Structure 1
């Protein structure tokens, strides 16, 4: 050969080819050919820690940092969803802005899906109250049950008007010389005044109406106020 000192042989035992453009490994400092100069191709133990590859975003052409051992596709996908400044990525983020409120869920929807009880946005998977453990659902149910159990008290204006009418009736009985008989209900209101027969009749009539109101609170009334007043006046007379 005219140039016996030109080139070097590959250090790989299965190769030993004479390469005129040899490459030196920066980890083990051995000479290799173009087919065995990479770390994994010649089994370099010193170069395993240096074999770090950084994925590049296909939209903005910027390197995406990721942890060792993580898949590059996962890192690039998170970068496109959060940090990528390219036009397609920004348009996608503007469309999918309704993120699920469940902890740990990263799903986003095009349209908002809000719960009527807690007023929070959720994805289609967690849209039902039982799926996202809705706290507003239980509190709303407790409030509704409490309102149903609470007895309906008459307004203060009605109580005042009833008390005033009873006082006037009592004064009229005193003026006419009748022996007044006063009956007071459990709420402290005067329900019957006048003579004994008149007071007893009015008390019985009022107890009947109270029993009807308590037993049929959920049903529509069959008689209006005018009919009840006429019946009471007929019974008292």
Structure 2
């Protein structure tokens, strides 16, 4: 038994399939089967009315109309420059501390040496002639290094020769101390034995 009133043919010309559960496109309002229901499958000419997203301005929150094929970044940028109602002076409050630079940044950018705020262009210590960095370099150059304290006015070769000579001297002194200690240990028993022999001789004579 057939129920012709329950289904409809797909509007896609290449399909024309009879579907018992047809679906109507919400853009062009034509009937399609489940296979050709999406905008892309039946090349819907009215899809732009539904499948369309409008970017919003990040500053004021207003929607920014963007034509098809145009980058949203471009339209949002134009909106911020020309039509945005937000107070930009309250947003870009981080002024560069370098004399003569009037640029402001959205976020604070502080120097790690002097802790002052600068723009992205002058954020490095060398870009804004940081006084604290120059003072730190001067202190490092003025303070004598450990090597200079040890060497004094000697050159590296003289200091090396002096160190070798002291090392050899300490080695010789250690060798002499060991030799004297061994000599003392070997001579003490001999003296004891000699005293014993003399006492024996004295006993025999008596």
- TM-score tier (shorter): 0.3 to 0.5
Which protein is bigger by CA-based radius of gyration? Answer: 2
> Which structure carries more relative contact order (alpha carbon 8 Å, separation 6+)?
2
TM-score calculated relative to the size of structure 2: 0.32
